[in-house]
Amino acid sequence: MQFKLAYLLFLLSLLLSVNSVAQKSKRQVLEARRVQLQKDQVYINALLSNTKRKEINLLGDLKDLDAKINTREDLINAIENESKELSNEIYLNQLEINQNKRDLEALKKDYGNMIYKSYKSKSQNSRIMFLLSSENFFQAYKRFQYMKQYTSFRKSQGEDIQIKTLELQTLTDSLKVKKNKKKALLDEKKKEQSVIEKEKKEQESLLSQVKQKENKYKRQIKQFVREESRINAQIDKIIRDAIAASNKKSDSRTKTSSTTFALTPEAKELASKFELNKGKLDWPVARGFVSTYFGKQPHPVVKSITIQSNGVRITTDKGSKARAVFDGVVLAVQVMSGNKKALLIQHGNYITVYKNLENVVVSKGDKVTTKQVIGTIFTDKITGKTILDFVLSNNTKMENPATWIYKM
């Protein structure tokens, strides 16, 4: 019965230990996520506050504030998740402490009984008399060995008590550290919630101002959408013309209306490598954050208007350079309105487009490599914003860059 009890206690202790390691590993991931969000928040806030002083467009102010609020909400969620995992760790830690206390009490009780029996034995018969009363030498030897083992066992029990005491102290200290960390997380969450309340009040005030001149801003947005559509149509024509040219070169019988590239063996290999790196491609900027995501969506400020984004818009620092996300060949350099440029890079049947460039440092037909600088991103003199429009397509089909770029 005692063996079964000991075995069950051992299994419980092992289970607690395994759970503790698993919980710790999960919390480390959540902690890393929170730390990264804190860094992102500092960067985004600094980037947007630098430009806001120059911002004369109310829509821009609101969009910036929306980005700050979203980032802060992400951080609060990360704090909550980490706090929950920490609570689980504290619970398991407390269970382990309780188990160790019971083990220590049992060890001390056994040790006390053993000392008491040893004392009674010594008072009745001395060790010498115990040996001399042996019937023969073999029995005396066996008694001597028993006495040695008994002494060794007593010493071992004493050492076990010391080890358990240290383990208990370590667990208690660990519990204290975790409780302090949880308190710090809750304090941080409270601080972030206080800031976000102020930002939302500011957001409401700005929205009220926008509402008063909604028709004016609707016209601005529609004008921007028309310009985007015009640029997208130009880029689509460049891609379709390139497809037609590749098909014509490959086979004169191929119809030029085909929507897929006729690839050389070298281009096929490049496309295959590009596909293998889905979700792992480098960012087209060294540092920045996505301020507009891919797809059809309500305008971030005037919700009654729907906008279509063929790619993503990445807000970055003034003077930032655009970089190739993967090896490829420059397909075209297109001059847009305001003398801004768009650069297209071909990766087999995949095309990456880098719009809103002030200048480019490569030419059509040039081979480029991953992370190679291809140009400087344009900075708007009115708003002070530096934004890269990044588009990715498979032949003529637009893809969501967030599924291709690492952690976008």
Buried b (16+ CB within 10 A) or exposed e, 368-380: beeebebbbbbbb
Decide which of 53 and 168 is more confident.
168
Q: Does the pLDDT of residue 124 top 60, yes or no?
A: no
Q: Of 263, 292, 316, 322, which Cα lies nearest the Cα of 401?
A: 292
Average pLDDT over residues 246-258: 65
pLDDT at position 148, please? 64
What confidence tens digit (pLDDT) does each residue in 286-327 have?
999 998 899 988 877 777 778 889 999 999 999 999 999 999
Q: Does the pLDDT of residue 364 top 80, yes or no?
A: yes
Decide which of 297 and 55 is more confident.
297
- Return the SS3 of 305: coil
Q: Read off the pLDDT band of 1 (50, 70, 90).
A: very low
What is the spatial distance between Cα 311 and Cα 228, in angstroms, rounded to a whole number?
Answer: 11
pLDDT at position 47, please? 67
Average pLDDT over residues 66-73: 84
Q: Read off the pLDDT band of 112 (50, 70, 90).
A: low
Average pLDDT over residues 119-128: 53
Q: Read off the pLDDT band of 2 (50, 70, 90).
A: very low
C-alpha torsion angle, residues 90, 91, 93, 94 (rounded to 10): 110
Q: Read off the pLDDT band of 342 (50, 70, 90).
A: very high
Q: Does the pLDDT of residue 85 top 70, yes or no?
A: yes
Q: Does the pLDDT of residue 48 top 50, yes or no?
A: yes
First to last CA, the chain: 59
Q: Read off the pLDDT band of 251 (50, 70, 90).
A: low
Runs of H (alpha helix) within 125-136 = 127-132
Please name each of the domains of the chain with its CATH number.
Answer: 2-212 (no CATH), 262-403 (2.70.70.10)
Decide which of 255 and 106 is more confident.
106
Across the chain, mean pLDDT equals 80
Decide which of 38 and 393 is more confident.
393
**Amino acid letter at 10?**
F
pLDDT at position 285, please? 97
Residue 263 near residue 247, CB atoms below 8 Å: no
Decide which of 353 and 22 is more confident.
353
Lowest mean pLDDT among 1-10, 69-78, 185-194, 336-345: 1-10
Half-sphere exposure of residue 42, counting CA atoms within 13 Å on the CB side? 5
Q: Of 51, 48, 40, which Cα lies nearest the Cα of 73?
A: 40
Q: Does the pLDDT of residue 261 top 50, yes or no?
A: yes
DSSP 222-252: HHHHHHHHHHHHHHHHHHHHHHHHHHHHH-T
**Residues sharing a CB contact under 8 Å with residue 82, sequence separation 6 or more, in sequence order:** 27, 30, 31, 33, 34, 185
What is the spatial distance between Cα 346 and Cα 352, in angstroms, rounded to a whole number?
Answer: 7
CA distances for 189 relative to 46, 66, 82, 215, 275, angstroms: 20, 19, 11, 39, 40
Q: Does the pLDDT of residue 119 top 60, yes or no?
A: no
pLDDT at position 53, please? 44
Average pLDDT over residues 329-358: 95
The whole model's pTM is what? 0.64
Q: Identify the helix (H) or strand (E) that includes residue 279.
A: none
Average pLDDT over residues 353-358: 97
What is the spatial distance between Cα 121 and Cα 181, in angstroms, rounded to a whole number?
Answer: 53
What confidence tens digit (pLDDT) does each residue in 273-290 have?
999 999 999 999 999 999
Half-sphere exposure of residue 265, counting CA atoms within 13 Å on the CB side? 0
Q: Does the pLDDT of residue 178 top 80, yes or no?
A: yes
Average pLDDT over residues 191-206: 84
Residue 366 near residue 287, CB atoms below 8 Å: no
